[in-house]
Structure 1
């Protein structure tokens, strides 16, 4: 690991720990997040962990912030106590709500049941939140499921839609435009203003998708309206 500190704005620095996305990064990112929060204390305005970096905003002068970052992350090691939560998220996998499910199967020479098995057999770390409130970027999916984003994004993707883009997977917290390959839908409430931190998922959490039947999906409050 070769840490670099980059300027983002007058009061913000980017702490870069890695240069490529890898699931093995997350324990280091979480350990750095924990140390920096403790070191900056009341001087911290915001700290945003992501795939390979942490964006830090503080009320300290840049030189002070750099020195504090260097001291805080000296001899950094992953810390088991800083690991995130584990979630099981139910998903109804069906072409009516996941219109790219047959496409992913055809591209990889699999049937739809095999696509579902590959998507559900892994536990995915949440790399980052972005695009929309509560939208967690997760990965990495099996290489056989990797698919480019749609050439023309949809104007409306239904809330709860579960999709794949390249080797990442995600679920849409609310209805919005989107260009991911949709393979199913979850009834889980991913963003809720009444919830602490609002988002169900946080960077460093781990997610296992669990296939459910249509009846189970409906019983959990899922919306069966077909995705156009």
Structure 2
């Protein structure tokens, strides 16, 4: 896989109160893959700094949501502990994230936006597949549904707005793009992303030690496979329902 980008310059963070027991720590204002080493470093520092008073910590593209126990920390003390934990912060290693290769069956029957995007760019569908699989993607954040990772950045030419009318049912394993992000639907759900194909890889499994396959900071590379290989891996070839 290709190397991660160099870390961005040191951020100057700010805190925002979002509840009587929660803070948002904002490190950046714009989405950039180079910010991830700082987000991961802040995640580690805050977990250590708040210790047993931390209820939950949710990293995202530019922020971290800190949910703390108000029986252990006052609002003022929580802010002080955050300040102390992030003092002198240094970026985490760009090699810290795990690497994943995700096999995908790219086909119009399970990826109806594939030919539409190809037509818009004046190329064939093979070229869209080549572009989508030609780079590593960083998992910025988990959300929407269990195991669902928001990843990026796709090349600018492929950037496509979300569907004006979302589908009521998108099959689990569907691989899609929206603007400059890409993602895999971890389970059957409504959704408005542009679907290009489908994978048989399970993103969320309660029987695994780590129930979510991805973690923020992981790197993902998609690999095209044939219909036959997809079926051998347990993939469901049922065509995606129209909106």
TM-score normalized by the length of structure 1: 0.97
Matched, 1:190 2:203: yes
What SS is found at the alignment partner of 1:56? strand
Provide the C-alpha distance between the structure 1 equivalents of 2:90 and 2:160, rounded to a whole number of angstroms.
34
What SS is found at the alignment partner of 1:222? coil
**2:118 match:** 105
The Cα of 1:196 is off from its aligned counterpart by: 2.8
Provide the C-alpha distance between the structure 1 equivalents of 2:132 and 2:176, rounded to a whole number of angstroms.
10
Count of residue pairs brought into register by the alignment: 228
**1:58 match:** 68
* Structure 2 unaligned blocks of 5 or more: 1-10
Partners of 1:120 and 1:210 within 8 A in 2: yes
The Cα of 1:61 is off from its aligned counterpart by: 1.0
Which ranges of 4 or more aligned residues in structure 1 deviate by more than 6 Å?
none
Aligned-residue Cα RMSD (Å) equals 1.1
What SS is found at the alignment partner of 1:80? coil
The Cα of 1:204 is off from its aligned counterpart by: 1.0
The Cα of 1:55 is off from its aligned counterpart by: 0.3
Provide the C-alpha distance between the structure 2 equivalents of 1:160 and 1:173, rounded to a whole number of angstroms.
6
Partners of 1:30 and 1:82 within 8 A in 2: no
1:17 to 5, 24, 27: 27
**2:217 match:** 204
**1:27 match:** 37
What SS is found at the alignment partner of 1:198? coil
Matched, 1:40 2:55: no
Provide the C-alpha distance between the structure 2 equivalents of 1:38 and 1:109, rounded to a whole number of angstroms.
51
Offset from partner CA, 1:98-155 (integer Å, 9 cap, x none): 0000011111222111111111111111111111111110001011110011111111
**2:7 match:** none
The Cα of 1:2 is off from its aligned counterpart by: 2.1
What SS is found at the alignment partner of 1:92? strand
Matched, 1:145 2:145: no
What SS is found at the alignment partner of 2:106? coil
**2:106 match:** 93
Offset from partner CA, 1:31-89 (integer Å, 9 cap, x none): 00011111111111100000000000112111111111111111111121882211111
* Structure 1 unaligned blocks of 5 or more: none
What SS is found at the alignment partner of 2:234? coil
